[in-house]
Structures are given as C-alpha cells and as structure tokens.
Amino acid sequence: MAEAQTSRLTAPVLGLPAAVGVLGVASGPAVAHGGETLTDATAFAAWEPTPDVVLPTAAIALIYAVGVVRRAAIVDPVPWWRHLMFFAGLAALFLALQSPIDPIAERLFFVHQIQHLVVRMLGPMLVAFAWPQGILVAGLPASIRRGLVGPMARQRWLRRAFGTATHPVVVTALYVGALYVWEIPRYHDAALRDEAVHYSMHLTMLLAGLIFWWRIFDRRPPPNGLRFGVRAMMLWLVILSNIVLGAYTTLKSAVLYRAYDAPGRLFGYAALADEQVGGVVIWIPSSMMCVVAFLVILYMWGRHEMKTEVRRATWSPSNSESMRYPTTGALLIEQQRRKNRVLAMGFVAFVLAVLATTLAIGVLASL
C-alpha cells in the first residue's frame, strides 16, 4: 500500500519525465536509410528496424506491462481503453521512425510533414490521453523507485523547476516553436544532411509534444490541473499557428527546401507541388486534430462542472429546494450538456470559418 501511495504522489512530478526520457531515446538517429539509393520501386519495402528504436520501444512496453500487473493488485484496475491508447501511441511513434515513412520522408517534404505530425501530435496525444505516468513509475524496478524516483519527487527545487517548465505559456511556446524553428529552411535542410541534427529535430518535437499534450489531457481538475479554459486557449493558439504556417507554405510561389533535390524527390513530385502538399498537412490535418482534442477537453470540462453543480445542488444544506426535488441534478446536467453542445458547435464553426477564409484568400491570390 505504501508503494501505491508513493506511485500516486510521484507520478505527476516524475512520471512524465520518465515517459519523456524513455520515449525520447526512441526518437534516436533513425535517419540515413540509404536515402540516395531509394527508388520509387523500393520505397515502400524500406523497413529497416534499428536497435536505437526497437530496444527502447520494447523496454517501454515491458515497463508499462509490469506496471499494469503491479497496480492491478493494489488499486482499482485501469480501464482497458487507456491501455489501448498508450500502445496505439507507442506503435504510431515506432512506425513513424521505423517504417518506410522515415526513408521516404528524406525524399519528400510532404511525407516528412506527415512524420512530424505523428511524432509531435498523434503519438504524444494518444500516449498523454492514456495518462500512463503512474503505471510507468509502478513498472520500474523497486530499487529505482525507492532510490531515485522517491527522493527526487521530494526535492522542492525540482518540483518548482518542473512547475515552471510546464507552465501553459512555456509549454505552448515550446510546442509551437518546435515546429516553426525546424521549418526554417536553413535548419530544415541541415536536418536532412546531418544525422545528429535530424536526431535533434525528432527529439525536440517529441519532447515538446509529450509535455504539451500531457498538460492538455491532464486528468486532474483545477486547481491541480490547468483550468479548462486555459487548455482551450492553448489549443486555439496551436490551431492559429498551424493555419498561419500551413497557409504560408501552401500558398507560396517559391521552393524553400532544396535539400530534397540532392537525392531527388520520389514518385515524380515537382518541388513546389511537394512543398504545397506539405503545407496542407501542416494546415488542415493538424488543425483538425486540435479540434478533436478541444472536443475532448469540452467533455472533460462539462463532466467536471456537472459533478460540481450536482454536488452543490444535492448536498448543500442551504439549498432546500434541491434537496426537496431530486430531479434538480438531472436538470442541471441537461442544461450543462446544452451549453457544451453550443460551445462545441461555436468553436468548430470558428475553426471552419478561419480555414475557409484562408483558403479563399489563397484561391483569389492565385487568380
């Protein structure tokens, strides 16, 4: 029981860094897959598993499995869908770095953007939504939990530093910056030419993605977790940044990324067309995934408010009307659901309007 309490206490502080560390290793230098010898005929058969990705991925899966068994014996079992989300996210990251996506991404800009979408968004979203920190900590060897995790979690300076690093402004800036910096042509081309720089690109995107989506899908309500309005604002800023960068990359008339031309772009793609499709990937799929995340946050927000209102209406001694009429809680729930539906439809309509306006501007500019 003591270890269970330790796991719950240390998970918010050190569970995420543990996940970030082991997943960060999995984004190692999975480049230089024979880019210059890759052809249209061999591209989709270019599966080249490497130890720097396979071993950490297997280790993470094993730690998680051990954690599931240990926690099941002392606390309520975790819902099955959380395990599914975690392994789906881990699989997405593995495929992004080990499947033919990786070598093709070195020859096509738009495939590289798909890879980035998985590394910084889809994979981290699924992992963070599973809330695996406590399970990962529980899956570590007892010597590490007692000799390293526990003492570190009790360090006030570490908790303060972690709190500063995970401040919503800092987290959002790092998440957006991890995309924008690597889309600067000089740095983007350098990542294609140098293995260490490419490693840094993947690692920074993954780390920023894991921390950002952990803050977004934090299962703890305020005040331990972020206020839901703050989470919605963070998503809105990311959507806006995706639209701006994606629209610019799509609507520009000059080729920016020349490093893809050295080995030659695959499948007969012209340089400008390749980059324009990549801009669409940044622009629309990334924004739509944030819309999905917003709907999840809206659902979490609604559940939190409904629980709060029903608790007040049902148990407050001063609210005699609510105690006299047991249907009050149901009415409050229905009212909150209506508010949530209106807010969700308004947000989706806003995003679609921005997308449509930007697209219309692009069409008019091309006439």
Q: Are 281 and 117 in contact (CB under 8 A)?
A: yes
Q: Are 265 and 107 in contact (CB under 8 A)?
A: yes
Q: Which two tokens stand for residue 196?
A: 């260490």
| Alpha helical stretches, state H, 146-227 | 150-153, 156-165, 168-183, 185-193, 195-216
Q: Which two tokens stand for residue 142?
A: 């007892």
The arithmetic mean of pLDDT across residues 30-46, rounded, is 68
Percentage above 70 pLDDT, the chain: 73
* Structure confidence at residue 16 as a pLDDT band (50, 70, 90): low
Q: Are 120 and 285 in contact (CB under 8 A)?
A: no
Task: For residues 301 and 303, give the distance between their C-alpha atoms in angstroms, rounded to a whole number.
Answer: 6
Which has the higher per-residue pLDDT, 260 or 164? Answer: 260
Closest CA to 175 of 123, 243, 234: 234
Does any domain span residue 329? no
Residue 56 has pLDDT above 80, yes or no: yes
Q: Are 54 and 122 in contact (CB under 8 A)?
A: no
Encode pLDDT of 270-305 as tens digits: 999 999 999 999 998 999 999 899 889 988 887 777
What angle do helix axes 168-183 and 185-193 make, rounded to 10 degrees? 70
CA max distance for the chain? 78
Percentage above 90 pLDDT, the chain: 46
> What is the reported pLDDT for 332?
57
| Alpha helical stretches, state H, 11-155 | 16-25, 51-72, 80-98, 101-105, 109-117, 123-129, 133-139, 142-144, 150-153
Residue 344 has pLDDT above 90, yes or no: no
Does any domain span residue 323? no
Residue 126 has pLDDT above 70, yes or no: yes
Domain membership of residue 187 as a residue range? 2-295
Does any domain span residue 320? no
Which residue is listed with tokens 């305020």? Answer: 222
Does any domain span residue 184? yes
Cut 0.85: pTM above it: no
Task: For residues 175 and 50, give the distance between their C-alpha atoms in angstroms, rounded to a whole number.
Answer: 27
Residue 55 has pLDDT above 50, yes or no: yes
Which has the higher per-residue pLDDT, 364 or 45? Answer: 45
The arithmetic mean of pLDDT across residues 42-61, rounded, is 89
> What is the reported pLDDT for 305?
72
Does any domain span residue 315? no
Which has the higher per-residue pLDDT, 146 or 359? Answer: 146
**Interacting residues of 364 by C-beta distance below 8 A, sequence separation 6+:** none
One-letter amino acid for residue 88 of the chain: A
Which has the higher per-residue pLDDT, 43 or 91? Answer: 91
Q: How many domains does the chain have?
A: 1
Does any domain span residue 94? yes
* Structure confidence at residue 171 as a pLDDT band (50, 70, 90): very high
- Contacts by 66-74, CB closer than 8 A, 24 or more apart: 66/138, 66/139, 67/132, 67/134, 67/135, 67/136, 67/137, 67/138, 67/139, 67/140, 68/135, 68/139, 70/138, 70/139, 71/4, 71/7, 71/134, 71/135, 71/138, 74/1, 74/3, 74/4
Does any domain span residue 349? no
> What is the reported pLDDT for 308?
65
Does any domain span residue 313? no
One-letter amino acid for residue 180 of the chain: Y
